[in-house]
Amino acid sequence: ATDTATEPSGGFPPGFVWGVATAAFQIEGATHEDGRGPSIWDTFCATPGRIEGGDTGEVACDHFHRWESDLDLIASLNVQSYRFSVAWPRVFPEGRGQVNVKGLDFYDRLVDGMLERGLQPNATLYHWDLPQALQDRGGWGSRDTAYAFADYAEVVTKRLGDRLAFCATFNEPWCIAILGHATGEHAPGLRDPQLALRVAHHLYVAHGLALPRLRANAPGAEHGIVLNLTPSYPASEAPEDEAAAARFDGFFNRWFLDPLLKGSYPQDLWEGYGDAVPEIAAGDLESFAQPLDFLGVNYYSRAVVAHDEAWPHFRNVPAGEAHTDMGWEVFPQGLTDLLVRLKRDYALPPLYITENGAAYPDRLEGGRVHDPERVRYYALHLTALQEAMRQGVDVRGYYAWSLMDNFEWAKGYSKRFGLFYVDYATQERVLKESGAWYREVVRANGQGLEVPQ
């Protein structure tokens, strides 16, 4: 008999958590219903030129009305857990002050629906949809927003905390800070690098304030945070490219990892940022580094980086042969390298892969969606994950991004990440071939996993 836990194709450890992920603004629609207030993404979508095709979140996947049948779809994939996010503007239409009970009721029904179907609820409190009222008062650039977040986190976990299995404060602080406030690709669409660093700091102030409240209100749940991490590789062996790759790593990864896991900002970057660094109040860094029950890792691709004369002295260069519809390189080795490196450089809590997946230009033909590239993407990355686990990285679960095609932020509905295809004209969901494949991988706990040619 073979030892299935150690064979590369012998599956995942018993109890490994399989799941699918979504986010509120990307699927719910119903942006004016049951007292929801406007979010910065509603505003951003209404600004001409920001979203491809002028798409908005007003209908999205109409999940707000279709949540029950959507939960049935999730359960049909054999997964043990569903990662979703709570929309702050449903709970506090004005961001703070008056609670909108109807908004909380929606998530209460949703969580009960998960439990009825044997799904472990994995809630993310902030997946980018800040109430517009808070943006009007400075948004994440203002430290006050962190206090508002802590109150919001308190209210949500008071209501749902008895039934949550996992709770994360933030999804992808890098994206919130940099894409929202430095490059302006995401809401609120600002372009001020110094502001972006202040935002990143305030996100962790919020995280630090919220964690004790989550623990008090949801003592049975595992609490953590979700980071997007991008391993970087030098474009050549030239020392200046090696240095550029290290700078990229600092900018993307260490700036966000070190405060959580070491209680400090990386010294080299702190000096490099000069006057742009944020103001640190007494106790901030200690609160950032409170123990986590888990760290969520979202992995999509790597970066290949060369030296550049202009600050920040690095630039991405094209690499690889296979790319997804987002233009991102298919680079599964990056997932292994990233996880092994995290274990080497940090004292880690258990890890979960909270997002991994790929967009491809799917077509519905004769009632079917033939998406072999996505099957291959998943098979390669699950194999790469197994390799990291074989090397001793403690990964407890894996969530596919995404359950279904949805509002892909600045790309609108033009990019499809789902295991289910969504026909937006009818809101019909169709299981893609990759979805059927994932269902069987999950059923077998990854045993016999093979990468198709």
- So which residues are the catalytic ones? 172, 355
Q: Does 228 bind ligand GBH (CB under 6 A)?
A: yes
By CB under 6 A, residue 122 contacts ligand GBH: no
- Does the footprint of ligand GBH cover residue 175 (CB under 6 A)? yes
Is 300 known to sit in a ligand binding site? yes
Could you tell me if 379 and 451 are in contact, meaning their C-beta atoms sit under 8 angstroms apart?
yes
Stretch that binds ligand GBH, among 157-165, 297-305, 372-380, 444-452 (CB under 6 A): 297-305
The interface region with ligand GBH, picked from 52-60, 116-124, 171-179, 254-262 by CB under 6 A, is 171-179
- On whether 424 is known to bind a ligand per the annotation, the reply is no
Q: Judge whether 377 is annotated as a binding position.
A: no
Cis peptide before 402 (omega within 30 of 0): yes
Q: Which of 377, 401, 413, 421 binds ligand GBH (CB under 6 A)?
A: 401
* Contact stretch for ligand GBH (CB under 6 A) within 89-97, 208-216, 256-264, 296-304: 296-304
5 C-beta neighbours (distance < 10 Å), count: 12
At closest approach, how far in Å is the CB of 404 from ligand GBH?
Answer: 12
Residue among 107, 126, 300, 352 that touches ligand GBH (CB under 6 A): 300
Residue 125: name the closest of 229, 221, 230 by CA.
221
Nearer to ligand GBH, 230 or 336 (CB): 230
Q: Using CB under 6 A, which of the segments 47-55, 62-70, 132-140, 295-303 binds ligand GBH? A: 295-303
Only one of the segments 132-140, 167-175, 184-192, 279-287 lies at the binding site for ligand GBH (rule: CB under 6 A); that segment is 167-175
Q: Is-cis flag, bond preceding 173, omega within 30?
A: no
CA 200/CA 173 separation, integer angstroms: 6
The residue type found at 134 is L
- In the shown chain, the binding pattern of residues 323 to 352 toward ligand GBH, with x for contact by CB under 6 A and - for none, equals -----x------------------------
Q: Is residue 18 marked as binding?
A: no
**In 3D, which of 69, 152, 66 has the Cα closest to residue 103?**
152
Report the distance separating Cα 201 and Cα 276, nearest Å: 12
Residue 414 as a binder of ligand GBH (CB under 6 A): the answer is: no
| Closest separation in Å from C-beta 316 to ligand GBH | 5
Q: Does 303 bind ligand GBH (CB under 6 A)?
A: yes
Task: Pick the closer one to ligand GBH by CB: 50 or 213.
Answer: 50
Taking alpha carbons only, the member of 326, 300, 355 closest to residue 84 is 355
CB burial of residue 327 (10 Å; 0-12, 13-18, 19+)? exposed
- Strands of the sheet containing 315-316, edge to edge, are 232-234, 303-306, 315-316
CB of 171 to ligand GBH, least distance (A): 5
Candidates 11, 12, 17, 23; binder of ligand GBH (CB under 6 A) is 23
Whose CB is nearest to ligand GBH? 303
401 annotated ligand-binding residue? yes
Footprint of ligand GBH on 229-248 (CB under 6 A): 230
Residue span binding ligand GBH (CB under 6 A) among the ranges 7-15, 112-120, 236-244, 298-306: 298-306
| CB closer to ligand GBH, 122 vs 171 | 171
408 touching ligand GBH, by CB under 6 A: yes
State the nearest-atom distance from the C-beta of 359 to ligand GBH, in Å.
7
Which CA distances in Å does 188 have to 55, 58, 192, 276, 316?
A: 16, 17, 11, 20, 24
**Binding letters toward ligand GBH, positions 52-81, x by CB under 6 A:** ------------------------------
How many chain residues touch ligand GBH (CB under 6 A)? 16
Choice from 28, 355, 371, 405 touching ligand GBH (CB under 6 A): 355
- Smallest distance from ligand GBH to CB 341, Å: 16
**Numbered residues of the known binding site for substrate:** 26, 127, 171, 300, 401, 408-409
Q: Which residues are annotated as a binding site?
A: 26, 127, 171, 300, 401, 408-409
Residues forming contacts to ligand GBH in the complex (CB under 6 A) are: 23, 26, 171-172, 175, 228, 230, 298, 300, 303, 316, 328, 355, 401, 408, 417
